[in-house]
Amino acid sequence: MSISLFRTLIAISETGSFSAAANQVFVTHAAVGQQMKRLEDQLGVALFDRSEKSPRLNQLGKALVPKAREVVAAYDTILDDLTGDPALIGELILGAVPSTIRGLIPQVIKRLITAYPDLRVRVTPGLTPDLQDEVERGSVDAAVLSKPARVGRHLNWVPFVEERLVLLAAPEVEESDPARIFATMPYIRHTNKSSVGILADDWLAAQKIEVNDMMEMGSLENLATMVAHNLGVSVVPDICVPDPVFEALRKIPLGPTAASRELGVLTRADCSKMRLVERLLDEIRTVVAAHAPPENV
């Protein structure tokens, strides 16, 4: 029995359909159907309700998914006890919040694939709540994100940096008093679906600061681009590994009341690639330390 059949079954359980599972396991929709028919034939049982147009896992199929996860996890770690180190040949599916994808993540991946040329890395961008869902479903092996509101015992959370909130402004903004800037400049707000947006809005509310809303952006990197064109200012985390656009902007301190965003790596407690994730964390810490101000190193 091929391990790929179990991987496809798990993908169907996670995505809810044959077509979505096909995208996740990189085969055609027809191939997914053929694989599941082969699995049913080998087991001698029906795993799907095919009374409707789209097949759905029946009760027996749903009961098989946790067992399939155990088999796949055992397969993925089969050499660990013999080698003392993960094979590191295969694929790492990594989720990441957008603010890390133009700076931190590329540098970390470069270090990983330099050390392990056969490693394939697939990056899935998303906001923190969405990435947490992906981790819990097993759609990604690990995710770099803001600290979730709640971390259940079935998850592992390892923080690696705190990014203090600053007032982001274009280089041509000469004023350095945040109160005057808020009073005179348009404000670019984060989407309230993002952890960064919630953090910034909570700080503004706690300080009783009224802003002149001009626009709302769905990602921190797009927001930084608008600020770079001097369309307004915003409250953002001082990104630990900035891209060139963010690095060129003014980061004005907000004083001792400024909150911080905690970034870390989230995995399932039963993650089959934990040793690889540990190596990922080592590389993340190395890159972050290389970009830290001298007093924070």
Domains, the chain, with CATH or none: 3-76 (1.10.10.10), 80-161+262-296 (3.40.190.10), 162-261 (3.40.190.290)
The pTM of the full predicted model, rounded to 2 decimals, is 0.70
Q: Classify the C-alpha dihedral 39-43-45-47 as positive or negative.
A: negative
Structure tokens at 130: 């969405």
- Other Cβ atoms closer than 10 A to 126: 17
Phi, psi (5° rounding) for residue 175? -65, 140
Could you please report the per-residue DSSP string of 189-218? EEPTTSHHHHHHHHHHHHTT---EEEEEES
Q: Output the tens digit of pLDDT for each of the chain's 297 residues.
A: 678 899 999 999 999 999 999 988 888 989 999 999 999 999 999 999 998 888 999 999 999 999 998 888 877 766 554 444 545 557 889 999 999 999 999 999 999 988 888 888 999 999 899 999 999 988 899 999 999 888 888 999 999 999 999 999 999 999 999 999 999 999 999 887 788 888 999 999 999 999 999 899 988 888 999 999 999 999 999 999 999 999 999 999 999 999 999 999 999 988 878 888 999 999 999 999 998 876 544
